Chain A
Amino acid sequence: MRVPVSYSFRNLWTRRLTTILTAAGMALVVFVFAAILMLAEGLQKTLVDTGSWDNVVLIRKGSQSEVQSGIERLQASVIETQPEVAVGEGGRRVLAKEVVVLISLAKRGTDKPSNVIIRGINDQSLAMRPQVRLAEGRLPRPGSAEILAGRSVAKRFAGTGIGETLRFGMRDWTVVGIFDAGSTGFSSEIWGDADQLMQTFRRQAYSSVIFKLSDPSAFDAFKARVEADPRLTVEAKRESRFYADQSEVMAKFLRILGVSLTIIFSLGAVIGAMITMYAAVANRTAEIGTLRALGFQRRSILAAFLMEALLLGLIGGAAGLFFASFLQLLTISTLNVQTFSELAFSFTLTVGIVWQALAFSLVMGFVGGVLPALRASRMKIVDALRTG
């Protein structure tokens, strides 16, 4: 015969203060666990969404990011003539020779500077990136000192709102438009005319060449041929891979930090649950004796106490997740150590994380409850009844 679930539930209810304290401890652990998974997920999602699978990025061999890279005009022209480059409207090649540099800008409201990516684009850059669209204002006129700011940049950095100006390289640059790139890395960039920017920064070389493949499956052959070409010293990557690689170090750091914190925290919470459950068992010795005398089996007692511990864990887990879900409203912006530039990303809650967090809270409840429940189920009827 099974002990009804309501027995476990009402036991928790009777000891409200203890239940709340224990569940609160677990809720905090689950909160931290979920928060860090959400952060790492958000970071990766941002950088993975940034690239498209059928675009190819070429940077100089050995350089790890676009900022470090340099591709001479001659080399860029060689790449431009490759047969894999897709041909778009009006017979033009869907290829952009871009220049990417960092500029140091002050955040709004403070004078703390941070590095922002400024990307020199050409007329194909927008066409190649369907996730980027103009949200406000207009596109810069080619050949002018006009720039577009990404939504996250415009929000956080001084002088990047529409109509405002930035001064660098002895010129004033007017922001004529804001572009929205969703939750991608492009939202943390400023775009301007490539030739104008190169002139301003006295650069002769492009940073990267990006193009759309006419046949997405031709990438491997292209990569092998281009990297073996003696005229070129470049490295080719699919754009999606290129950006995913850039989130690697940060995501790994966040995960290591998160996992080690969660392990330490969960030890604390498990101990809390164990104390609570041991006390629950000790206080109810006579009750357990009575249950046994009524004919409930050891197995049923074990199940009832485990159920209580699992419920405790579940309450904590649900509460923790509830509060963690509000984090989605937050946007974090921090320096990506691999590109050395500011990147904005938000906490992202996925179904996978929900399941992981709930499973984790149940495991905590189980580990905390299994020893006390075993103790309860092993009691001898006579002894238990006598202690009351």
Chain B
Amino acid sequence: MRILKLFFRNAFRHKLRTGLTILGITIAILAFGMLRTLVNAWYAGVEASSANRLVIRNAISLVFPLPLAYKDRIRQVEGVTLVSWGNWFGGVYIEEKNFFPNFAVEPRSFLALYPEYLLPDMQRSSFLSDRKGAVAGKKIADRFGWKVGDTVTLKGTIFPGNWEFTIRGIYRGKDRSVDETQFFFHWEYLDETVRKTAPRRAGQVGYYIIGIANPNLAGEVSAAIDAAFKNSLAETLTETEKAFQMSFVSMTEAILIAIQLVSIVIIVIIMAVVANTMAMTARERIGEYAVFKTLGFGGRFIAGLIFGESLFISLLGTAIGIGLTFPVAAAFHDYLGTYFPIFFVEKETVLMGVAAGILVGVVAALFPTWRAVRIRIADGLRRIG
């Protein structure tokens, strides 16, 4: 108990310096937590994907469609339980900065495949029965103030024209890892309109999503589907939903790596700051350490003193930093929710922050300890300031 008091007293001998150091650590841990959360947000799509779903797209690339006629042949493949299809619509609501993902989907199979999108029964049936109906996520509905029954117009970028929809439902996620910023409508509405305006583009789907009975057979089912369409005009590429989402992440990998690097750099910077504080403190107290040694305290005690103080300061800063991460992340989410629909602090991030705090405390104490333990009593007493 007494030694703890000693740490405390020692740490606050220079109130200003310690205060500044703690502030520095707080900022660093806060930044570290935010950057980690940002990286996690990047992977949100991968995390949310289900092992029971496969995505089929055109082998050339995502911008090429697949014929709707494939659906029956896909259904015949063994292990396939459900076939759904859709198109990335890419519509713009009023202006480009209001971005949210919007898809034309086959509604019945889509809702069956995605049980994590919760929709009240009433809204579900009214959505299914209205061909111009649409379902929006809770977050975008709140953002634009949409209510069930409202009319929403999207400007098409891939499919030209202004498209009118009636909001028939507002879905919520089963848990917080579900993206609540998406917008879905009937694929048939899209197809019928396209049939009139650009007949050649009708009967084409952007992707198929299928449900499989046994996730362990995903590889076999994918191979069977791809083999069925080999050497056709539209060859397919089937992969698990996770792999599909991962391909988007890996395309922006460079930025992701940069952010991860930066989150380490900030820990290094703060290490330099704390190490500096500890080095100064120890230098000023060399005389005291010599006195301790004269009184018979061993090198281990002095080492404990320095380590204890260093850890005390760094952990105090870490605690405040982690405490602040949660409200700041919430504020960040409110502000930039469009770019990162899923943004919450994970338990792992907190643990990593604590580990970083301990690391900083230990590393900062190493060099001063080495110096303080090694110094000879006479030299220590002789030394000035």
Contact = CB atoms under 8 A, between A and B. Distances in A.
Interface string A84-124: 00000000000000000111100000001111000000000
Contact of A268 (B64, B155, B250, B266): B266
Interface string B252-266: 111100110010011
A104 B244 CA distance: 13
A294 interface: no
A285 to B, nearest CB: 10
B273 interface: yes
B273 A25 contact: yes
B66 interface: no
Nearest to A35: B258
B272 A265 contact: no
Contacts of A18: 276, 279-280
A264 to B, nearest CB: 4
Contacts, number: 140
A66 B140 CA distance: 28
Interface string B196-207: 000010000000
Given A68-B158, A168-B60, A278 B17 contact: yes
Given A29-B269, A204-B200, A272-B24, A62 B155 contact: yes
B269 A268 contact: yes
B31 interface: yes
A104 B61 contact: yes
Interface in B239-295: 247-248, 250-255, 258-259, 262, 265-266, 268-270, 272-273, 275-277, 279-280, 284
A337 B99 CA distance: 12
Q: Tell me whether chain B's interface is mostly helix, strand or loop, or mixed.
A: helix
Contacts of A335: 248, 251-252
A275 B17 contact: yes
B40 interface: no
B268 A63 contact: no
B156 A28 contact: no
A115 B265 contact: no
Contact of B60 (A25, A103, A334): A103
B233 interface: yes
A267 interface: yes
Contacts of A204: 200
Given A275-B276, A334-B253, A102 B63 contact: yes
Interface string A187-210: 000000000000001101000000
B28 interface: yes
Interface in A168-194: 168-170
A283 interface: yes
A60 B156 CA distance: 11
A304 B16 CA distance: 22
Given A61-B160, A201-B64, A268 B273 contact: yes
B251 A115 contact: yes
A253 B99 CA distance: 14
A204 B280 CA distance: 74
Contact of B28 (A39, A101, A112, A268): A268
B251 A101 contact: no
Interface string A10-21: 000000011001
A102 B62 contact: yes
Contacts of A261: 31, 262
A204 B270 CA distance: 59
Given A233-B160, A269-B269, A342 B279 contact: no
Nearest to B259: A257
B157 A62 contact: yes
B79 interface: no
Contact of B61 (A115, A271, A275): A115
B385 interface: yes
Contact of B266 (A169, A253, A264, A334): A264
A50 interface: no
B373 interface: no
B90 interface: yes
Contact of B272 (A25, A32, A103, A342): A25
Contacts of B237: 104
A265 B266 CA distance: 7
B21 A275 contact: yes
Given A102-B61, A334-B251, A334-B255, A264 B27 contact: yes
Contacts of B252: 334-335, 337
B70 to A, nearest CB: 15
25 contacts: A21-B275, A22-B276, A25-B272, A32-B265, A60-B160, A64-B157, A68-B157, A101-B60, A101-B63, A104-B60, A114-B250, A115-B62, A168-B59, A202-B233, A253-B339, A264-B27, A265-B266, A268-B266, A271-B20, A271-B21, A271-B23, A271-B27, A272-B24, A275-B20, A275-B273
Given A115-B61, A271-B23, A342-B251, 20 more contacts: A18-B276, A18-B280, A21-B279, A25-B276, A32-B262, A103-B60, A104-B59, A104-B62, A170-B235, A261-B31, A264-B31, A265-B266, A268-B269, A272-B269, A275-B17, A332-B254, A334-B253, A335-B248, A337-B252, A340-B62
Interface of A: 17-18, 21-22, 24-25, 28-29, 32, 39, 60-64, 67-68, 101-104, 112-115, 168-170, 201-202, 204, 233, 253-254, 257, 261, 264-265, 267-269, 271-272, 274-276, 278-279, 283, 332-335, 337, 340, 342
